[in-house]
Structure 1
Amino acid sequence: MNATRTLATTARVLSQIRHDPRTIGLLVVVPSLLIGLVAWIFTDTPVFDTIGPAMLALFPFVVMFLVTSITTLRERRTGTLERLLSMPLGKGDFILGYTLAFALLAVVQSAVAVAMAVWVCGLEIEGSTWLLFAVAVADAILGTTLGLFASAFARTEFQVVQFMPLLVFPQILLGGIFLPRDQLPDVLEAISDWLPLSHAIDALNAVATNSEDAAYVGGQLLIIGAFALGAVVVGSLTLQRRTA
């Protein structure tokens, strides 16, 4: 991999997105609107304070997964990736460049979502808001890398959507949103320990309730980072030049 080529790919992706207001709206605005909708549904109840941190994990994760996977797949379907790889650009440069571009967008997305949840919707945070923001960013980047991973195997946009029941839905069901993970059947709890979104939700809940120290949250961030790095490595190794 080459840093110059990676950064050039990052700049190209950001330039393309800058001229696509619908994608910007989907990435930055939609997760915050969904969080606001959940808060509105549970107005005058304590429910939002309970599930709000999980919503900060869920909506950015899903949106980043969908946008990243479909955008990357489109590069292959249109032959853009094949042309790029005919030049001195490796698969690793391409994947890492996309990861960096969407990671920067994840920072903006997470900042807006956290601000919406805390200062507009009134989500009570007993721990550090900055630490909450850091976990939210890591979670959004996780969605990005899993989207890149899925796009390496999919051939059509419909197949990308088909990856959601495999990669996304189990994480939502077992991540502790509907039932605390320690109350799941033993087998399901063991499976949830191996799902990265579970660790993101655990970390956000820990920060929101201040029930764990910074070392625990840091450990969860390392786990999320390891999953994200693994998805980038596997995605770069399996990426196809073109989709027929």
Structure 2
Amino acid sequence: MSPRIYLATTGRILAQLRADHRTVALIVAVPALLLTLLYFVFNDEQRFSPIALIMLGILPMLVMFLVTSVAMLRERTSGTLERLLTTPLHRADLVVGYATAFAVAALVQGLVLVSVAHWGLGVETAGPLPWVLLVAVVGSVVGVATGLLASAFARTEFQAVQFMPLFIGPQIFLCGLLAPRESMPELLQRVSDVLPMTYAVKGLQAVGSQGDPTGDVLRNVAILALFAVGALALAALSMPRQTR
């Protein structure tokens, strides 16, 4: 990797994001709107708050997976990636540049989402609110990394979208949102142990129930970061120059 090329790549992707208002709205506004809709669906703050806290780890990961998988595939289908790779740009520069640019977007997304949840919808936590933001942002970065990895195996934008149920669906079922993981069969518990969304949920549940969740949060955030690094490394290795 070249620091100069990496920074130039990050700047280019950020500029593209700023110019794409629909994508910015999808990243920043849609998760908050969905959480607000869920508030009115439950119409009960006591039932809503625990679910809403978990959704702060799920919605960002889901949205960022979708956006980045389609965005990277568009680079390939348009021929942009093939042209870029004729320059000194390395695949790692591109993948890490994408991850950094979308991490900035994830920070904005997390700030909006956590603000709406806490001050707009009354979601309370036993632990400090910045821990919620940290888990939400790192979870978003995992969504970015897995989206980039999924895009390497898709030929069209429609195929990239089709990967979302495969990558995200099982995680939603097994992360502890619909049922406690402890009540699941042992096999499903073992599967959930290797899915990143599980650790986003565990980190947020720790913030929700503990006054000082520092140890639990940092442990789960570290595991999420390892997932992100691994997915980015695989994405850099498997990314084709173009889609035929």
TM category (shorter chain) comes to over 0.9
| 2:139 corresponds to 1:113 | no
Q: Could you say if the C-alpha distance between residues 45 and 123 of structure 1 is closer, same or farther in structure 2, counting changes exceeding 3 Å?
A: closer
Q: Please list every run of 5 or more consecutive structure 1 residues that lacks an aligned counterpart in the other structure.
A: none
> Identity of counterpart residues, as a percentage?
45
| 2:52 corresponds to 1:58 | no
Give the superposition deviation at 1:45: 4.4
RMSD: 1.0
Give the superposition deviation at 1:58: 1.3
Q: Please list every run of 5 or more consecutive structure 2 residues that lacks an aligned counterpart in the other structure.
A: none
Report the TM-score, using the length of structure 1 for normalisation: 0.98
Give the superposition deviation at 1:152: 1.1
Alignment-derived partner of residue 183 in structure 1: 183
Alignment-derived partner of residue 31 in structure 1: 31
Alignment-derived partner of residue 201 in structure 1: 201
Give the superposition deviation at 1:162: 1.9
- Cα distance in structure 2, aligned partners of 1:110 and 1:41: 22
Aligned length: 244
- 1:158-237 matched pairs, under 5 angstroms: 158-210=158-210, 213-237=213-237
Deviation readout 1:144-170 (Å, 9 max, x if unpaired): 111001011111112112212221100
For residue 124 of structure 1, give the secondary structure of its aligned residue in structure 2. Answer: coil
- Cα distance in structure 2, aligned partners of 1:189 and 1:211: 27
Structure 1 stretches of at least 4 aligned residues deviating more than 4 Å after TM superposition = none
- 1:7-46 matched pairs, under 5 angstroms: 7-46=7-46
Give the superposition deviation at 1:44: 2.8
- Cα distance in structure 1, aligned partners of 2:137 and 2:181: 22
Alignment-derived partner of residue 71 in structure 1: 71
For residue 168 of structure 1, give the secondary structure of its aligned residue in structure 2. Answer: helix
Deviation readout 1:69-111 (Å, 9 max, x if unpaired): 0000000000000101100100000000000000000000001
Alignment-derived partner of residue 83 in structure 2: 83
Report the TM-score, using the length of structure 2 for normalisation: 0.98
For residue 46 of structure 1, give the secondary structure of its aligned residue in structure 2. Answer: helix
- Cα distance in structure 1, aligned partners of 2:174 and 2:150: 20
- Cα distance in structure 2, aligned partners of 1:134 and 1:64: 16
Alignment-derived partner of residue 96 in structure 1: 96
- Cα distance in structure 1, aligned partners of 2:168 and 2:112: 23
**101-110 or 213-222, larger mean C-alpha shift:** 213-222
Give the superposition deviation at 1:54: 1.2
Give the superposition deviation at 1:211: 6.9
Give the superposition deviation at 1:22: 0.5
Alignment-derived partner of residue 136 in structure 1: 136
